[in-house]
A and B are shown apart, each in its own frame.
Chain A
Amino acid sequence: MPRSYAERHAVLPQVGAANAMDMIVSGALERFPQLRVVMVEWGFTWLSSLLSRMDYLWESDRSAAPWVRRRPSEYVAEHFKFATQPLDDTTKMSELATMLGIKNLDRMLLFSSDYPHYDTDHPQLIISKMPDALKARVCYQNAVDAFGPKILRSLGQRI
């Protein structure tokens, strides 16, 4: 049991990661193939290791997960979206590029600020870090994929 809030908050993304994994391994997404899930405020950079670990262990022993019919990372790409907040701080552009280079992330990442919480990410900060190829997808296109065009009604014809 973590003693400080800092420690607890540092490992909080594990809860999101564990539930995403469990929805796949338990076969929930085979039972409900139309189900879509948006994971908010769990971050996303842990996907780099989780996806490859799930795929590797599944390919090593498919009988261990009888409800999983294809690579676990394929379920993630098809069913999940992840919000940007909290966006990890990086020290190098190459590190940022690698962080955003997670397979299929361009179709999974949604903008989120978490405003007005203490650790809100300023919209300009997030947008400035997104490469041009990702900006439109992160700012609205992936949100339309997740929630449908109804979320754009307040914007009228502007998009």
Chain B
Amino acid sequence: MIIDCARHAGVEKHQDLFEYMPYSWRKHFDHYEWTGAVGLASNHIRVSDKFSHDPIPAYRPVSDPERMSLVLLYQGLTVNGWSDQIGAKVYLDALNSYGEENWVSNSSKLAMLVSPHDPAWSASEIRRRAKSSLIGAVSIPLVTQMLGARYWDPIYEACVEVGVPIVVHYSGVEGSYSGTPSLSGSVHQSAFARLILMPHLAESNIASLVFEGAFYRFPELQVLFAGFGFKWVPSLMRRVDHEWRNFRSEVPWVKEKPSSKVLSNIWFSSYPVGEAMDPERWQGMVSDALRDRIVFNSHAPFGNDTVEDVERILGASWLERMMRNGGALLRTTNKVEV
């Protein structure tokens, strides 16, 4: 069975979301800056309509008993760069509703989006939507509040209550707009530089989660960092344990080595597997326990790693284990039978 723990889906045109919005909000969004946005290449700053592109291929879920996919609504992740936080909630609500109707099947579940600007509203949405079997996870756009902060507790409480994991994925505008988390060093000029540094977002938020004691407050909470790769994890685990030994008195609520919480509450994914070439050079750093926390994700339709790519680069035993791990992760939701 193929278990893809993070693939993407998006609307082909924003007008498709209108029927999922109240009429007054439809009027609010019905202007060219918005309706033209999907087809205009951007980085969200459209200097000219010449920079346009075709929308990505629409996702059409199939019913295949040998396949299960967790579907991320990548367009909604970009609300972390929005200044209109109220409009953002309307947009996320519409995307979630559209996704429930169009992207869920016997072989796919939705990673519903929540607002990073309103945890209370988000918690109520999780409780409302996750009653159905359509939701497989909760997706949080990253903002300047680190994920270990108590700010997020209402969302975590709701996730634990309904039995769904968190999925964290970058939107791509991090390091570009105020409101999003900055990237390390300073402002990086190119999209290429920012893409290289995206795993630092995962590292920083994992450090926050373990040092702020989030998994002591919510021992059942499970968090998947999807699309960040996994080669950096051994170095981070050694580093957080090292700092804990040096500064244990500073964080007295952290009772065990921080890496133990990484191995019990955090998951990682394979994409982009191309950066994990020559496993004989690095896999000696990946403990058996850590290998049990790495799942397959295709990232389709962007880059689109296949199971064949994973097998070619890492070998059959890695692939088999990733599928087993994916089943274990999705079973934690009590929503997905695998």
Contact = CB atoms under 8 A, between A and B. Distances in A.
B241 interface: yes
Interface stretch (B6-14, B44-52, B73-81, B207-215): B207-215
B244 A6 contact: yes
Given A64-B191, A86-B242, A2 B285 contact: no
A53 B199 contact: yes
B208 A2 contact: yes
A94 B193 CA distance: 32
A13 B285 contact: no
Interface in B183-208: 183-186, 188-193, 195-197, 199-200, 203-204, 207-208
Give chain B's interface secondary structure class: helix
B238 A45 contact: yes
B238 A49 contact: no
A3 B188 CA distance: 24
Interface stretch (B112-120, B121-129, B227-235): B227-235
A58 B192 CA distance: 8
B145 to A, nearest CB: 9
Contacts of B190: 25-26, 64-65
Interface stretch (A98-106, A123-131, A137-145, A149-157): A98-106
Contact of A2 (B146, B192, B193): B146
Contacts of B242: 10, 86, 88-89
Contacts, number: 163
B64 interface: no
B54 interface: no
Given A7-B212, A25-B196, A98 B240 contact: no
Contact of A46 (B195, B229, B232, B244): B232
Interface of B: 144, 146, 148-149, 183-186, 188-193, 195-197, 199-200, 203-204, 207-208, 211-212, 229, 231-232, 234-236, 238-244, 246-247, 250-251, 272, 274-278, 281-285, 287, 303
6 contacts: A2-B204, A19-B185, A43-B239, A50-B232, A53-B231, A119-B246
